Amino acid sequence: MATVTFDKATRIYPGGTKPAVDQLDIAIEDGEFLVLVGPSGCGKSTSLRMLAGLEDVNGGAIRIGDRDVTHLPPKDRDIAMVFQNYALYPHMTVADNMGFALKIAGVNKADIRKKVEEAAKILDLSEYLDRKPKALSGGQRQRVAMGRAIVREPQVFLMDEPLSNLDAKLRVSTRTQIASLQRRLGITTVYVTHDQVEAMTMGDRVAVLKDGLLQQVDSPRNMYDKP
């Protein structure tokens, strides 16, 4: 677990006339669930990708804990990310999908097994470990994608519209599951969505972006109270 700090973080795409993200300042607390929300094109993904190390930062800095990670490659940032298109390996079982990154990292089989089993328990996937992804529901697959991220025990967890491929009903139940999972793990989380209801129901705090500029950061309660 760790704090995450965007310190005037700025991204200007090559050929861009104005910043896609303009001097973003947010201090995220240890264990906090922060939601970045705003309309399409406001800079949410760019912000998340800067934090992940997938996008150059053209001004300002990004810190995880007290480490300046602004120019570190993704693998050295101790983060895990779940995308909108969480492609699972179709020929591998759920367990092997979840353990794959650990296998690549050279973790021994017994330890992988233990971590996979723990994650599966938390995610309610224990009875599906030997199945292939195609034998699972959309919501279960989505949880496998999360499992794949959490077995690595990252300091920070990033999610970019992870529910957008689910139907409306599943989206609501998965929303609750993700929020409670995050609270149980207590892992600092940055979650991107264009859906205001999702933002307000899931976040400890919600950061509203518009045209690359931060408009407001506050708890949902305080946002509702304000006119």
State how far the alpha carbon of 120 is from the alpha carbons of 62, 128, 225, in Å: 32, 9, 39
The one-letter code for the residue type at 67 is: R
Answer yes or no whether residue 151 interacts with ligand ADP by CB under 6 A.
no
SS3 194: coil
Binding segment toward ligand ADP, per CB under 6 A, in 75-83, 91-99, 175-183, 215-223: 91-99
Interface residue with ligand ADP, options 5, 46, 155, 174 (CB under 6 A): 46
SS3 39: coil
Answer yes or no whether residue 204 interacts with ligand ADP by CB under 6 A.
no
Q: Least distance to ligand ADP from the beta carbon of 128, Å?
A: 10
Answer yes or no whether residue 97 interacts with ligand ADP by CB under 6 A.
no
Best CA proximity match to 193, nearest among 150, 162, 166: 162
Q: In what order do the strands lie in the sheet with 59-64?
A: 21-28, 4-11, 59-64, 67-68
Q: Least distance to ligand ADP from the beta carbon of 15, Å?
A: 7
Binding segment toward ligand ADP, per CB under 6 A, in 23-31, 112-120, 180-188, 195-203: 112-120
Q: Site for ligand ADP (CB under 6 A): how many residues?
A: 22
Best CA proximity match to 219, nearest among 201, 204, 197: 204
Answer yes or no whether residue 113 interacts with ligand ADP by CB under 6 A.
yes
Q: CB-wise, 30 or 130, nearer to ligand ADP?
A: 130
d(CA 62, CA 26): 10
| Residues within the interface to ligand ADP (CB under 6 A) | 13, 16, 20, 38, 40-46, 95-96, 99, 103, 109, 112-113, 116-117, 129-130
